[in-house]
Amino acid sequence: MTLRNRWTLSLASMLLLGILAGCGGGGSSSSSDGDGTALPAKTLSWAAPESYTDNTSLNPLTDLHEYEIYVNESGSFAETDTPKAVVSAVNTTTHTLTTSFNLANLGRYLSTGVVYRVSMRAVAVTGQKSNFSPPASFSF
């Protein structure tokens, strides 16, 4: 294994658990879309990766820095894309893992009635990034 492979995070263990309507995570309970329409809370939830691609153990509390959240209509994501949100992997107040984000917080980038795809990447404290997670669909 190369050092690069060891430090590339394994998204096989980071699953998008679902996008749920209801109580928000990662911020306020509603936001406005690009047209000023109030968006309801829609929570993206996930499990933190527990290993690197070479199956070396990873401690998410100490080895992860943040998650990058990407949203578009196509579901195709590339290295050159800019994340729509960056979320700390560990809540600095409670010292617990962050495992959800309220997609309504991205309201300025979204419109109601449009189906979007969301994907995320885990970023290690070393700066190495995982592959993109499989995209999940959502709309408001």
Q: 54 pLDDT band (50/70/90 cuts)?
A: confident
Q: Inform me whether the pLDDT recorded for 25 exceeds 50.
A: no
Q: 51 pLDDT band (50/70/90 cuts)?
A: confident
Residue whose token pair is 């404290």? 125
Does domain 3-138 fall into CATH 2.40.160.20?
no
* Other beta carbons within 10 Å of 76: 11
pTM: 0.79
Q: 31 pLDDT band (50/70/90 cuts)?
A: low
Per domain, the residue ranges of the chain are 3-138
Q: Return all residues near 24 (Cβ < 8 A) that are at least 6 apart.
A: 30, 41, 42, 43, 102, 104, 105
Tell me, what's the pLDDT at 14?
43
Q: 123 pLDDT band (50/70/90 cuts)?
A: very high
Q: 35 pLDDT band (50/70/90 cuts)?
A: low
82-107: pLDDT as tens digits = 999 999 999 999 999 999 999 999 99
CB 123, CB 14: distance < 8 Å: no
